[in-house]
Amino acid sequence: MAERSVLEQLSRKGVDLAGIVDQVIDKPKEITELIEALKVGKRAVKFSYEKVLRMVSERRPELIYPYFDVFAELLDCDNSFLKWGAIMTVANLTAVDSENKFEAIFRKYYAPIKGPAMVTAANIIGSSARIAQAKPDLTQRITHEILKVEKAEYVNKGVPSPECRNVTIGQAIVAFDQFFDQIDDKTKVIKFVKRQLKNTRKPVVKKAERFLLKYKA
């Protein structure tokens, strides 16, 4: 019996995504079909298409890189799940970004850190270490953007939420820990982390304490 196409497999419930990722890596021509389906397919199935493409980008970013612009466009997508996936995929693609496409969208990529969506900002910050490691020349710019989280304004159920900001600040501390050695102005980051010792969210305080202990600050 002929093997079902990736699109056919993804239309079924309980599909083995990891197995499909292996199949796509073995037959990269199927990536084009997934990309086209991602643009026009039904919303429910789009999420599976996006996830498979993202998982491929984690393992073999060079296979997805020709479609960088597709994911750059999804950064403006109205659907949050597709946007969050694109944030992570674009970060994965920086490892093979020979044409410096990420630099061209740098401002757009980092703009949401200032708000109003906490999860969007958290995904960007959480993906930043991967970008900094792939493109060390951008480390200082990335650091500058992440530090904006302290004055960000996030909204929860239509109301400004300082607690959402605290959660994202915690994500920032974790991110800085992953590429701290690359940061030139370590003092500015250390001061930021020290201010979080007075954060009203206890898990953030603990993250700050661990960070400062690790770097003997």
Helices (H), 11-111: 17-26, 30-40, 43-59, 61-64, 68-74, 80-93, 101-110
**CB contact set of 16 (below 8 Å; sequence gap of 6+):** none
Give the model confidence (pLDDT) of 65-121 as tens digits.
999 999 999 999 999 999 999 999 999 999 999 999 999 999 999 999 999 999 999
Give the model confidence (pLDDT) of 166-201 as tens digits.
999 999 999 999 999 999 999 999 999 999 999 999
| pTM metric for this prediction | 0.93
Q: Residue 96 corresponds to which tokens in the numbers above?
A: 């093979």
Q: List the one residue out of 132, 134, 144, 157 whose CA is nearest residue 192.
A: 144
Residue 39: per-residue pLDDT:
85
| CA-to-CA separations, 141 to 11, 76, 110, in angstroms, rounded | 41, 21, 10
Give the model confidence (pLDDT) of 9-65 as tens digits.
887 777 888 999 999 999 999 999 999 999 876 677 889 999 999 999 999 999 999
Strand-pairing partners, residue 159, are 156
